[in-house]
Structure 1
């Protein structure tokens, strides 16, 4: 409260400095003849400075609105102030960097160059004011009492107390209502609340007993962030916001890193600097989730930075979940000594299935007929896969991955692909792109089945999970809902095994084995295991054709001899 009272004065200082700068910018006369670079620089200065008061007023009005409440959320207000001032500071820092680079540029008009030289000290002073506010907020520490007081105002909260920490779980996290994001069809049924308390409370207890918050780092080969809900719409097909939020719900800290560094450069060129990302040194203790989309070499013929970074992390005793995409070369050296063989030069296929001429056929059933699409319900024998039996997951495309115990006895193969249809590893990518049915040809480099798409291993203090599917937990896959369950008001994933396999892998990598299970939403899904061919033959032939008629004949013979006696 004392900080917020003192911040009002600091806010006025920052606002006055911003207002002064706007007046100085408006004195600049736009050049009559202007090239593209000059226009970009002038536009950057003008737009950035003009937005300062709007940005300040926005988070200040939100903070004032919260303060007027009967029970203000002081923690939320200080976070709001810090985020707002930090956003302003980042814009100012970007502007300072641009001014320092351009103030001596002879191509710029004299008036703009003079403004840049005169304005630099003013921007540096403005940045200093922002730094002081952020330092004050960071020095406040954790406002646990305020958090407790605010949380007790909620309906039916659960308080988990430890010796030095507390966790408050609102009723909305115990009984969850979920609405569909993507369905084939529609449903007007009201969603039913489902119980999600068991894992939520267990996660809170473990977080209190182990105060070191675990970090999960999504390592991407380039492009915008995939786990940030504000940035991921730029790459809708590759967004991973749902699984990232699920990790946060279990008290994981989620961060991202563009291993190529290209996104920061691209953002800088657009005049919108990207948020700073952690260094590899800062991520050495984090669990890496690697999107292995690299090609093995860059344009200069040098090793792909992704494969190189994976090797450094694993050699340093780190743990990782690697999601492999087709043509990701360079993994052999990175996985050396782990006993896991990956074949990104192949794509698993099953034999072609002719589609019936029926417009009413379910779209998911139609998709399952595609050769690269596999729906699995058996995951192999391992602690992360045992709870998932009979839960369906979709893998498309699948890269062959298998364990080699001769190289590492701790390595185990998981994710065996179904064998009810003939399967193989296809080497001809051109044939796949032509959309024509592919056939097995060992002479062309195809690998005969059976095929598996995953493996796990341990070495030293590190653990490793490699899955031959990069699309395992993209939002597109997790947002396909089960229509039959939706008609009952229960909105669950059509393929719950995808998210459950990912979460169990992360728990295992984090050495949180007690958390390995299936989530409450997955428990809603029917888990009737499909019959094997031998079991089906037993019921059809052994019971229906032999067992029941034989029992009738035996009963008849018993009655016949009994009556004769």
Structure 2
């Protein structure tokens, strides 16, 4: 071999060694990286689980499902870590269906993340002694509260016995009278007495039997005391009105008839006297019975355990029962399975976590929706049913108030002592002097502004939604804007609308619809919805001024490279043809602000009609949120599954997931923050149930197919040629 060949061989050998060394180094680095990542995942799971979890569970569990189906939501984890009291979660379920089996699995997850929860599983079919002991313990929790109602039921049974004892001799008198020589030959009187005796005897027997029925029912676990009392009252009232009253009326009429023998008439009057004594006793004692009511928490628990399967949450002084049926929501009929059975969406975590949250409230916060336009907030025609349902799950009380009637201040919802109240003020209709209702709407708006100022001064909070008002009056004449600006340094410029250049096909137009994906992180309100999207339809900018003692935080802002504001309205839709205005252009606009501090303002008392300085009673906790896009929390957006927000997509969020889940979470988080429950704010179970990856577009599907059919084979072929060429050179 020549020296040249030796040199080439040496170089080739060195190249192979270098290449193999690099491959080995990369493999080692990749292996170490994988090991580190696995350890990070395991360590994260280890730290989040409590000591109650088994070693296998603490190290080997991880949820890779798209909707985190087998993981608890951040909100639940936050609630579990903040628990101060011990809770028992008891499932009473004969798990024979997949739906029922999922509930115990969910309950077991809760004990893995906190030492404050213990879990018990009871099969009501096979664990007879366990279920009996559970019912006894449950009833024992309410013994001290049930004294009045148990005594009332006993008094009712005694009243029934007294009535029966007094009327049994009357029945015998009626029978003797029916067989008397004066009555028996008279066919009319004879038939009448026969009918009265039969009805009287049957109804008296039915009244007597109710005592036995109630005694039997009271021997069952968690007796229905309220139902027992109602049964006694209804039976006695029915007997009084149907039998006693009609008998007395008939005898009174017959006793005055000339065709009735005198002896028979006298006997009828004596019977009526006895019946009237019994009637007086019934009406007097029934009135007493009606005044006593059973202990409501006991009756709620008793009614809930009648369900087929439930979960009981027991604390030291409170109990909640969640039927399995309430852990599922039925999806629309058009999405039923092939066999015709309705599809069910699981909301068990939302129910359990909501109950744990509600058990920490004493008293629960009150949220009052102001009916600015006179429409209901809840119900068949309500606009806030979705967010309202979520608040009710957490035991937050809801009410609504209509400020439009002149006497509306007399119909304010009742607020308990020490109950934190949040006022939700949707936008009032734009004022228009040509509108016959102009003066009425203006008076309602002014009345609401005065009320909000006074209530915030007393420690309440408010969520105020402003809307575009293209024909707006001077800002200082709007008392709501004047109060927000002077006391909080928040100035909604709702005489102008935010526009952006948007493209549809080949056309460019000024659009008002924005998708919000970037969230400020200064408050927990928005920290928990990072990565989620929200929709803002028609928005106005909010300007902020410094006010002593007030801290302001942006919570909603829209960003786009070419945005500007427009206020030169000739009509309410003239903005659609507006062109880009560099003078008002900005890359971002604030449309939602939260503020806290100690506001001071001049207010005019409606009672004394004089100017008075309002100073807050609770300066540290005064909070307010103002948005300049009013429809963001309505059902039209929160229940809509269509990214284009069409009417066809409304009420489909439970099926396909909300197109903009952040709208609902932002509202609920805002209520938590305004009510001082910051520790409850986190991504909710409902938002976790939504897939973060949306459906592929038609273009995406086309290019994916193109890559798989042509691109991938070509790539593999080229890679093979490259490897073959390298090996051939070696």
Find the counterpart in structure 2 of residue 144 from structure 1.
297
Find the counterpart in structure 2 of residue 518 from structure 1.
683
Find the counterpart in structure 2 of residue 342 from structure 1.
492
Equivalent position to 1:203, from 354, 357, 361 = 354
SS at match of 1:209: coil
Q: Which structure is larger by alpha-carbon Rg, 1 or 2?
A: 2
Query: What is the Cα deviation at residue 432 of structure 1?
Result: 4.7
Contact 1:425/1:451 (8 A) holds in 2: no
Contact 1:352/1:437 (8 A) holds in 2: no
SS at match of 1:389: coil
Find the counterpart in structure 2 of residue 304 from structure 1.
446
Residues 94-114 of structure 1: CA deviation (Å, up to 9, x unaligned): xxxxxxxxxxxxxxxxxxxxx
SS at match of 1:293: coil
Check 1:564–1:200 CA distance in 2 against 1; reply closer, same or farther (3 A cut): same
1:395 aligns with 2:536: yes
Find the counterpart in structure 2 of residue 12 from structure 1.
none
Residues 501-523 of structure 1: CA deviation (Å, up to 9, x unaligned): 11111111122223212333322
Contact 1:355/1:369 (8 A) holds in 2: no
Question: What residue ranges of structure 1 are gaps of 5+ in the alignment?
Answer: 10-63, 81-129, 181-185, 266-274, 358-367, 531-551
Residues 257-299 of structure 1: CA deviation (Å, up to 9, x unaligned): 112325979xxxxxxxxx9542799998411111131558963
Check 1:76–1:454 CA distance in 2 against 1; reply closer, same or farther (3 A cut): farther
Query: What is the Cα deviation at residue 307 of structure 1?
Result: 2.5
Find the counterpart in structure 2 of residue 168 from structure 1.
321
Find the counterpart in structure 1 of residue 621 from structure 2.
461
Query: What is the Cα deviation at residue 438 of structure 1?
Result: 1.8
**Cα distance in 1 for residues equivalent to 2:627 and 2:566:** 18
Find the counterpart in structure 1 of residue 525 from structure 2.
384
Query: What is the Cα deviation at residue 137 of structure 1?
Result: 6.1
Find the counterpart in structure 1 of residue 387 from structure 2.
243
Check 1:149–1:351 CA distance in 2 against 1; reply closer, same or farther (3 A cut): same
1:497 aligns with 2:658: no
Question: What residue ranges of structure 2 are gaps of 5+ in the alignment?
Answer: 1-148, 160-209, 232-282, 433-437, 473-477, 598-619, 643-647, 696-717
Contact 1:213/1:252 (8 A) holds in 2: yes
Check 1:177–1:279 CA distance in 2 against 1; reply closer, same or farther (3 A cut): closer
SS at match of 2:400: strand
Query: What is the Cα deviation at residue 251 of structure 1?
Result: 0.6
Find the counterpart in structure 2 of residue 331 from structure 1.
480
1:374 aligns with 2:525: no
1:158 aligns with 2:300: no
Residues 350-397 of structure 1: CA deviation (Å, up to 9, x unaligned): 12423469xxxxxxxxxx987111122223212111121222222111
Superposed, 1:164-243 pairs within 5 Å as 164-179=317-332, 193-227=344-378, 229=379, 232-233=380-381, 239-243=383-387
SS at match of 2:554: strand
Check 1:139–1:473 CA distance in 2 against 1; reply closer, same or farther (3 A cut): farther
- RMSD value over aligned CA atoms? 4.9
Query: What is the Cα deviation at residue 334 of structure 1?
Result: 1.8
Find the counterpart in structure 1 of residue 557 from structure 2.
416
**Cα distance in 1 for residues equivalent to 2:503 and 2:591:** 21
Equivalent position to 1:292, from 413, 423, 427 = 427
Find the counterpart in structure 1 of residue 239 from structure 2.
none
Contact 2:489/2:547 (8 A) holds in 1: yes
Equivalent position to 1:253, from 385, 390, 397 = 397
Find the counterpart in structure 2 of residue 351 from structure 1.
501
**Normalised TM-score (structure 1):** 0.58
Find the counterpart in structure 1 of residue 59 from structure 2.
none
**Cα distance in 1 for residues equivalent to 2:558 and 2:536:** 9
Contact 2:401/2:413 (8 A) holds in 1: yes
Query: What is the Cα deviation at residue 144 of structure 1?
Result: 3.3
Superposed, 1:54-73 pairs within 5 Å as none
Find the counterpart in structure 2 of residue 322 from structure 1.
464
Contact 2:510/2:576 (8 A) holds in 1: no
Contact 1:294/1:306 (8 A) holds in 2: no
**Cα distance in 2 for residues equivalent to 1:356 and 1:383:** 41
1:478 aligns with 2:638: yes
Check 1:280–1:251 CA distance in 2 against 1; reply closer, same or farther (3 A cut): closer
**Higher helix proportion (structure 1 or 2):** 2
Superposed, 1:442-461 pairs within 5 Å as 446=584, 448-459=586-597, 460-461=620-621
Query: What is the Cα deviation at residue 468 of structure 1?
Result: 1.7
Contact 1:432/1:438 (8 A) holds in 2: no
Query: What is the Cα deviation at residue 343 of structure 1?
Result: 1.4
Query: What is the Cα deviation at residue 201 of structure 1?
Result: 2.4
Residues 64-108 of structure 1: CA deviation (Å, up to 9, x unaligned): 9xx99988966689999xxxxxxxxxxxxxxxxxxxxxxxxxxxx
